[in-house]
Amino acid sequence: MNKQLKRIVVLAATAAIGLSTAACSSSPTVVNYKGGKITQDEYYTQMKNTSAGQSTLVSLIIYRTLKQQYGDKVSSKKINAEYNKYKKQYGSSFSSVLSYSGLTTDSFKQNLATNLYSIAALKDLKKVSTAQEKKWWKSYTPDVTVQHISTSSKSDAETVIKKLKSGTSFATLAKKYSTDTATKNKGGKLAAFDSTDTSLSSTFKKAAWKLKEGQYTTTPVKTSSGYEVIKVLKVAKKDSYANHKKFIDKQIYQTWAADSNTMTKIIGKVLKKANVEIKDKDLKSKNLLSSYLNPSASTSASSASTSVSGN
């Protein structure tokens, strides 16, 4: 939307508010200006018909119902700890980040609380089965410790491999050839990682998992940043899943929490239990909560719309 069009929209909205002033004169005043005022009723009427206003209402409903049912599962201490974690992460720019996102300290804490309440709801309403634990553990790869040498060109990686075969130590080659300044003077050694790690590329991890202790890649491993030569130092043993149930459940819940479809269904159960009823007839007609209360219908409607628009 260009600046002129934005100005027209703002003026049109302002005019609409002005026309309705007389009908809402008994409502508390939000704004005074020379020759008139804007009342709470006028402001509400305008806001409830905007996507931003409707989204705010849905967020408030979800927050209130989650807090009502799971507020005792999440302490204010935990919410503040989560808040302080972000505050520390962003440092002196934290206030600017909040402002840029249209958030205040209170609204950000409310968002954090909503997230923590929703996790509590997830753990209460969706249990991890033994079959799911076993399936997850079967696909899991435990800690692997490696040395690596990053190079910008394939030829450099091939040179490294050639020198390794001739007996030159990995640490010596890492110091000379690696572009990874954080590890080149440490023999190229990385912290141990498992299959839940997200800091390394899948290509890198898959190449490492194919090796036994003491082996290195005999062809350069191509990644988005260049080429890698990888040597495995240690592979942790994988024992019975029964010894790691707490860890497994944590990982499964993290996966579910990151899945929008799963969380939509969880929020839907919370809303149904709360028996939420929107009283405003205009807002009620919008079916604002339908994506949570009837997610399968919303998905079908969205798919149908996409199919039609694609023809």
* pLDDT tens, residue by residue, 158-186: 999 999 999 999 999 999 999 999 999 99
At residue 26, the pLDDT reads 77
Kindly state the average pLDDT of the residues 82-100.
96
Q: Judge whether residue 6 has pLDDT over 70.
A: no
% of the chain exceeding 70 in pLDDT = 87
pLDDT band at 296 (very low <50, low <70, confident <90, very high): confident
Domains in the chain (CATH in brackets) are 1-48 (no CATH), 58-138+245-311 (no CATH), 141-235 (3.10.50.40)
Q: Judge whether residue 152 has pLDDT over 90.
A: yes
pTM of the model: 0.79
Distance, in Å, from the CA atom of 227 to the CA atom of 72, rounded to the nearest integer, reads 51
Surface-to-core class of residue 32, CB atoms within 10 Å of its CB (0-12 exposed, 13-18 middle, 19+ buried): exposed
24 vs 57, more confident: 57
At residue 297, the pLDDT reads 63
Token duo for residue 93? 């720019």
Q: Detail the DSSP E strand segments found in the chain.
A: 29-33, 36-39, 144-151, 221-223, 226-235
At residue 22, the pLDDT reads 46
At residue 295, the pLDDT reads 81
Distance, in Å, from the CA atom of 93 to the CA atom of 157, rounded to the nearest integer, reads 40
Kindly state the average pLDDT of the residues 34-42.
95
* Residue listed under structure tokens 């600046």: 3
Distance, in Å, from the CA atom of 63 to the CA atom of 156, rounded to the nearest integer, reads 55
* pLDDT tens, residue by residue, 245-283: 999 999 999 999 999 999 999 999 999 999 999 999 999
296 vs 187, more confident: 187
Average pLDDT score over the chain: 90
Q: Which of 157, 67, 151, 147 is nearest to 113 (CA)?
A: 67
